[in-house]
Amino acid sequence: MNELIDHIKARFPIYDVIESQPGQIFVSLEASKLIPMITSLKTNHGFTVLVIFTAVDWIEDDKFQITYVLNNPKEKQDLGIRVFIHRDDATMESIHHLWKHAATFQRELKEMFGIDFPGSPGVDDPFLLEGWDNIPPMRRDFDTKKYSEETYFPRPGRETNDPATFMKQTLYPDD
């Protein structure tokens, strides 16, 4: 695994190499270098399986992190690649030409995070949220509790009989 990392390091500007467990390494990379790197990993190094492909919202840094986890079934190795893109014009290159099922992940990310993947098949079709007209729900500035209370007729809760509150009201009614 270390040989592989050295080999990649010589060709691509990766940083933050973390071995989270034996046989599983996460690296970070510039977004523009992603396509050449995973194409090389798929064709030359046996990372033929796209395991998962998801996003994290780092709202404090104004960034989205997209994580691609690739698997090498022969060597039993996992390699996670993280790229960071800006939150405002969240656009990323599509990888559906390498793995067909990536189009489904991309469709989900478009709907849940608002990250666009131009050219990906069916990326604008609704996936789970039909007719959604708010900001994408997995963005951290979306207030799901407020939205639910405004939309879904919440059932009012029971009257509380909390002893502490009751005694406080009985003994110190002026407070």
Q: Which is nearer to other proteins, 151 or 160 (CB)?
A: 151
Query: Shortest approach of other proteins to residue 155 CB, angstroms?
Result: 4
For residue 113 the two structure tokens come to 């995070």
Query: Shortest approach of other proteins to residue 114 CB, angstroms?
Result: 14
Of the candidates 9, 73, 14, 82, the one whose C-alpha atom is nearest the C-alpha of residue 42 is 73
Q: Which is nearer to other proteins, 13 or 154 (CB)?
A: 154
Rounded Cα–Cα distance for residues 115 and 105 (Å): 11
Give the footprint of other proteins on this chain (CB under 8 A). 126, 128-133, 137, 142, 144-145, 147-149, 151-155
First to last CA, the chain: 67
Q: Hey, is 71 helix, strand or coil?
A: strand
Query: Shortest approach of other proteins to residue 127 CB, angstroms?
Result: 10
Query: Shortest approach of other proteins to residue 5 CB, angstroms?
Result: 40
Q: CA-based Rg of the chain, rounded to a whole angstrom?
A: 23
Q: Which is nearer to other proteins, 132 or 166 (CB)?
A: 132
Q: Which is nearer to other proteins, 78 or 111 (CB)?
A: 111
Q: Which is nearer to other proteins, 74 or 146 (CB)?
A: 146
Q: Which is nearer to other proteins, 46 or 137 (CB)?
A: 137
Q: Which position has the token pair 């604008």?
A: 124
Query: Shortest approach of other proteins to residue 57 CB, angstroms?
Result: 15
Of the candidates 47, 52, 51, 54, the one whose C-alpha atom is nearest the C-alpha of residue 1 is 47
Nearest-5° angle of CA 126, CA 62, CA 93? 50
Query: Shortest approach of other proteins to residue 119 CB, angstroms?
Result: 23
Rounded Cα–Cα distance for residues 120 and 118 (Å): 6
Q: Which position has the token pair 């502490």?
A: 164
